[in-house]
Structure 1
Amino acid sequence: MLSYTCVVEGKVTGGNFQSWVQDLAQQLGLKGWVRNIADHKAEILIQGDAEKFAAFREHLKNEAPIVDKKNITCGSLDHDKTYDVFSIRG
C-alpha cells in the first residue's frame, strides 16, 4: 500500500504533539501511527489518499504545536502492512 512518512524535528516531547497528530489524522480519515524516535524527533506513518495526505502535511507544517521547529521532511514509500486506525506508539 502507498504510504507516507514524515520526520519532524523540534521539541515534540513533553507536550501534546502526538495527540494533536492523532486527532488531525482521524479528522482527515487517515490511518497509521506517530512515535518519538529520538530527542526532539518524531516519525509519522500515514496511509490514505494523496489529497488527504497533502492536507495533513500542510496542517503539520503550519499549525502543529512544536516548540523550536527545526525541520519537517515527508515522502512516500511502499509499505507492506495496512493499518485500520491511527495510533500513538510508545
Structure 2
Amino acid sequence: MIACHLRITGRVQNVFYRNWFVEQAQALGLDGWVRNRADGSVEAVVRGSPEMIDAIVAKAREGSPASRVEHVHVSDAAPDEVPNGFAKRPTL
C-alpha cells in the first residue's frame, strides 16, 4: 500500500467535486479523506495499491462534470497516517 497527498486547483469548489471525489475513491476501495481549502483548492489524502492511486490521480485530473481542473499536485504521504475508510472533511 502507498499513500499520496493531492492538491487540486481550478474551478473545484461549489461544483460537487468533493462528493464526486468521495464516490470515486470509495469505488476504487481507497482509504483517506478530501476537503476544500480556504484558498479555493481541494485537498485529498489517499491510500491504496499503486494501480488504484494512479486511477484516482487520473480521475482527479478529469474532475466532476461541472468542474474545471487546472492542476493536480501529487506528493507522497505516510501510509500509516491515513485513516481507514474514506471521508469528506470540513473546509480548512
Fold conserved (TM > 0.5)?
yes
Correspondence for 2:11: 11
Distance in 1 (alpha carbons) for counterparts of 2:68 and 2:33: 22
CA shift digits 1:36-59 (9 cap, x unpaired): 112320100001111100011112
Q: TM-score, normalised by structure 1?
A: 0.85
Distance in 1 (alpha carbons) for counterparts of 2:68 and 2:81: 33
The unaligned stretches of length 5 or more in structure 1 are: none
> RMSD of the alignment, in Å?
1.8
The unaligned stretches of length 5 or more in structure 2 are: none
Equivalences, count: 89
Greater share of strand residues, 1 or 2?
Answer: 1
Between stretches 37-46 and 27-36, larger displacement belongs to 37-46
Correspondence for 1:38: 38
Q: TM-score, normalised by structure 2?
A: 0.84
